[in-house]
Amino acid sequence: MPMPWTYRQATREWQAFLAEARAAMDLTSDNAAYTAVQGVLLAFRRRLTAQQAIDFAQVLPSVLRALFVADWRLEDPVPAGTRADWTAEAMALRPHHNLTPPNCVEATALALRKSILREDLDRVLATLPTFAAEFWSTPGTDPTLLGPSIV
């Protein structure tokens, strides 16, 4: 079997994702975008069981997958909450160095949906708690603009 594309092209995938997230959040640095994305991923992960989180991670590009599972301590999931809760959690990560904007969840969802095949993400979201589809939704975005830009 050949090496999976996401491992061979990890840097290109990551740079494309981060550029999309940075632009969608109107941030000026990769560091600020990284913190925002990490906060969003952690907010989502906290609401999943370990198996659900692993299932979700399987469709992520390799660097995002690593970021999603890094420094993970297995704990019981917290309640789903609302977009306001998810946003507040993302904005609370490293509070003294966090420039995460209020649209961080939507912007990260947009960047993610521009990085992976819609069918793959929708398939895994259908197996997760109902809040997951809302978490990663991109209402008002033309679906033809979504999907990986580098293949």
Domain, as residue range, for 75: 5-145
Q: Give domain status of residue 150, yes or no.
A: no
**Tally of domains in the chain:** 1
pLDDT at 151 exceeding the cut of 60: no
pTM, full prediction: 0.93
The per-residue pLDDT for 93 is 94
The whole-number average pLDDT for the span 97-111 is 94
pLDDT at 150 exceeding the cut of 70: no
Q: Give domain status of residue 27, yes or no.
A: yes
Q: Which residue has the tokens 């259908």?
A: 126
Q: In whole angstroms, what is the distance from residue 144 CA to residue 62 CA? A: 24
Token pair for residue 112? 């993610």
Q: Using 50, 70 and 90 to split pLDDT, how confident is the model at 55?
A: very high
Q: Which residue has the tokens 């978490």?
A: 135
Closest by CA position to 102, among listed 89, 120, 114: 89
Q: Using 50, 70 and 90 to split pLDDT, how confident is the model at 2?
A: confident
Q: Give domain status of residue 62, yes or no.
A: yes
Q: Give domain status of residue 151, yes or no.
A: no
Q: Is 68 helix (H, G, I), strand (E, B) or coil?
A: helix
CATH number, residue 91:
1.10.490.110
Q: In whole angstroms, what is the distance from residue 61 CA to residue 134 CA? A: 20
